[in-house]
Amino acid sequence: MAIKGNSTDNKTRNSVSIIIVVGLCCFFYLLGAWQRSGFGKGDSIAVEITKQTDCTSTPNLSFETHHGGDSISDELKSPNFEPCDESYIDYTPCQDQRRAMTFPRNNMIYRERHCPPDKEKMYCLIPAPKGYVAPFPWPKSRDYVPYANVPYKSLTVEKAVQNWVQYEGNVFRFPGGGTQFPQGADKYIDQLASVIPIANGTVRTALDTGCGVASWGAYLLKRNVLAMSFAPRDSHEAQVQFALERGVPAVIGVLGSIKLPYPSRSFDMAHCSRCLIPWGANDGMYMMEVDRVLRPGGYWVLSGPPINWKTNYRAWQRTKEDLEQEQKGIEEIAELLCWEKYTEIGEIAIWRKRINADSCPGRQDEPRVKMCEIVNDDVWYKKMEACVSPFPEVNNADEVAGGELKPFPERLYAVPPRISSGSVTGYSVESYQEENKIWKKHVLFYKKINKLLDTGRYRNIMDMNAGLGSFAAAIDSPNLWVMNVVPTIADTSTLGVIYERGLIGIYHDWCKMEDILLEMDRILRPEGAVIFRDEVDVLIKVKKMIGGMKWSSKLADHEDGPLVPEKILVAVKQYWMKQVSWKPQSAMIIDGFDGGEREEDGGDTRTHSRDGDGDGSGHAVGKEALKRVVV
């Protein structure tokens, strides 16, 4: 899982010095959350995205500098991390409502990720919401979430008739409904499965754009389909947080003006159910972005308006003309993209992306189709464009562009096409297989160190430097899911491999060590666990720092014995409450979620003072990530 850097220019060289930090310190983190008694087990992950420039502009604040034995290293020895004010309980630095409102609203730019400048970064520990308890174990967590963990009732009011979520005593109940699936997500998926090969492992990875509380992804799990769900932080900003509390993968995200943080050809299926994305707008840019991340032969599902408008226009309170026009626009773009209209069942329309360019003769010559010139997976903070991503070349008309994938679960250990074609720098078929072997061994050892690892106690797990996804493959289990994070300073083409294995992940930008550790503290549940694997001297420094964050930790030898310089540091975030004292308590903290979410409801005393303006509030950090991740 070594991170590779190529230092061809100045900017990359800066990155290299950071790579060392991240390469060492983030070699691998496992974030898990643990539950206390009471409610049961589970956990959630949250990842947060920081702007790339935050890292590259301050290389000298990196870890090495702090080892110099000067005053900085003193600071390192006795880190002084204070609890943040309680109003930050829900702090999500890159999704701050007040900052968001300074950005334009067109194309949802204000809902994209906007991280704080260095001087506004907070270096304190986020307290837990009052009364936080560990989530229920899966699958109960799919249907019930403790109210204290996400104390926002507005969704239960706003979506009351749509059966998304109900408030019952001290828990939220998720009946599995959604705006578009009044009969429940399961029945809805049955309909999809009648035309899309979901049952036999052909469809394994899915993208849910505008996911709500992620019921779709939640119910796909039992069909062995792993969905990456995203929703922006908006006036229902707790949505992603609910998803994570339910133990379902989700990240804060939006289709706005920058590309989605996933490689090309990642998903077997993409889905929008009343997701409010204007598919026909901007010359089809959003559909083109979905096309980019869809695997050749992948499916696009659109349900709700305008599909079947003839029957529903009254219920939707829109004019026939308006809806007809909207559908026509979408159909036209689908045609330009050369998608095949598969079927329409009621309000569900399904298209299929062709398997290669041979299936779209003449597309290159169609003047309305602008093909993208730059084709690579360097998408981090890159502007989205209204252009069509070309298929990789094929040798004959039956070949699947980019390589055909085995059905899941065979896919997990099959040689991914990106590896066999040699398109991932530094990896060969042999090194891929070698890495799988190594990680199987590591995971076996982790299970010895932490016997609860695969018992359901840890539900949301994040690999902060996922490489080829070999950790996630080795730990694969119905009890848990792994968000694989590929740092943007690493070779980002490995994320494509992760998807080709039938796993999910996201690009992210981890910065300086202190930031990373604080960020981990923010997204980790109370009593969540972390596993660091690194050289012993690095781990000793990490141990000191996390002591200042009130984590308890233990250094363990490498599974091959004490003579190996690489060691394992296992840490557990303690449970503490803000007001009481700074001593570990019995049950608190959550990943940085929760909190001042609902400005709208004036009665909520938790409202963030910093976020205060009506339209959705400060919250998304934790969720965002995990959504992007979150373990």
Ligand X SMILES: *[C@@H]1O[C@H](CO)[C@@H](O)[C@H](O)[C@H]1NC(C)=O
Number of residues that bind ligand X (CB under 6 A): 5
From 68, 117, 182, 197, residue interacting with ligand X (rule: CB under 6 A): 197
Closest contact distance (angstroms) between CB of 196 and ligand X is: 8
- Binning the chain into helix, strand and coil, the percentages to the nearest 5 are 30, 15, 50
The CB density around residue 116, as the number of other CB atoms within 10 Å, is 15
x/- mask, ligand X, residues 95-124, rule CB under 6 A, reads ------------------------------
At residue 625, the 3 state secondary structure works out as helix
Cβ closest to ligand X, residue 158 vs residue 399: 399
From 202, 257, 433, 477, residue interacting with ligand X (rule: CB under 6 A): 202
Residue 593 CB burial class (10 angstroms; 0-12, 13-18, ≥19): buried
Instruction: Determine the interface stretch with ligand X among 196-204, 516-524, 552-560, 566-574 (rule: CB under 6 A).
Output: 196-204
Residue 467 CB burial class (10 angstroms; 0-12, 13-18, ≥19): buried
| CA 216 from centre of chain | 16
The answer to whether 621 and 93 are in contact (CB under 8 A) is yes
Closest contact distance (angstroms) between CB of 410 and ligand X is: 9
Q: Is 68 in the site for ligand X (CB under 6 A)?
A: no
Closest contact distance (angstroms) between CB of 197 and ligand X is: 4
Cβ closest to ligand X, residue 73 vs residue 586: 73
Closest contact distance (angstroms) between CB of 550 and ligand X is: 32
Closest contact distance (angstroms) between CB of 207 and ligand X is: 20
The residue type found at 361 is P
Q: Give the closest residue to 507 by CA, choosing from 522, 518, 493.
A: 493
The residue type found at 501 is R
Contacts to ligand X from residues 261-280, by CB under 6 A: none
Sheet of strand 171-173: strand arrangement: 144-146, 171-173, 166-168
Instruction: Determine the interface stretch with ligand X among 131-139, 194-202, 343-351, 490-498 (rule: CB under 6 A).
Output: 194-202
Closest contact distance (angstroms) between CB of 406 and ligand X is: 8
x/- mask, ligand X, residues 34-63, rule CB under 6 A, reads --------------------------x---
Closest contact distance (angstroms) between CB of 473 and ligand X is: 20
User: How do 348-352 and 340-345 pair as beta strands?
Assistant: antiparallel
Closest contact distance (angstroms) between CB of 194 and ligand X is: 10
Q: Give the closest residue to 275 by CA, choosing from 251, 305, 298.
A: 305
From 8, 71, 80, 200, residue interacting with ligand X (rule: CB under 6 A): 200
Residue with the shortest CB distance to ligand X: 197
Cβ closest to ligand X, residue 124 vs residue 412: 412
Contacts to ligand X from residues 554-613, by CB under 6 A: none
CA distance 301 to 351: 7
CA distance 202 to 220: 14
CA distance 495 to 377: 9
The answer to whether 287 and 333 are in contact (CB under 8 A) is yes
User: How do 205-209 and 226-231 pair as beta strands?
Assistant: parallel
Q: Give the closest residue to 589 by CA, choosing from 546, 547, 527.
A: 527
Cβ closest to ligand X, residue 162 vs residue 202: 202
Cβ closest to ligand X, residue 409 vs residue 584: 409
Record the tokens describing residue 343, joined without a space. Answer: 């079927």
Cβ closest to ligand X, residue 223 vs residue 543: 223
Closest contact distance (angstroms) between CB of 294 and ligand X is: 17
CA distance 246 to 155: 15
Cβ closest to ligand X, residue 93 vs residue 402: 402
Instruction: Determine the interface stretch with ligand X among 36-44, 110-118, 197-205, 246-254 (rule: CB under 6 A).
Output: 197-205
Closest contact distance (angstroms) between CB of 67 and ligand X is: 13
Cβ closest to ligand X, residue 117 vs residue 197: 197
CA distance 310 to 303: 14
Closest contact distance (angstroms) between CB of 498 and ligand X is: 21
x/- mask, ligand X, residues 372-411, rule CB under 6 A, reads -----------------------------------x----
The CB density around residue 588, as the number of other CB atoms within 10 Å, is 24
The residues facing 485 across adjacent strands are 506
Residues that bind ligand X (CB under 6 A): 60, 197, 200, 202, 407
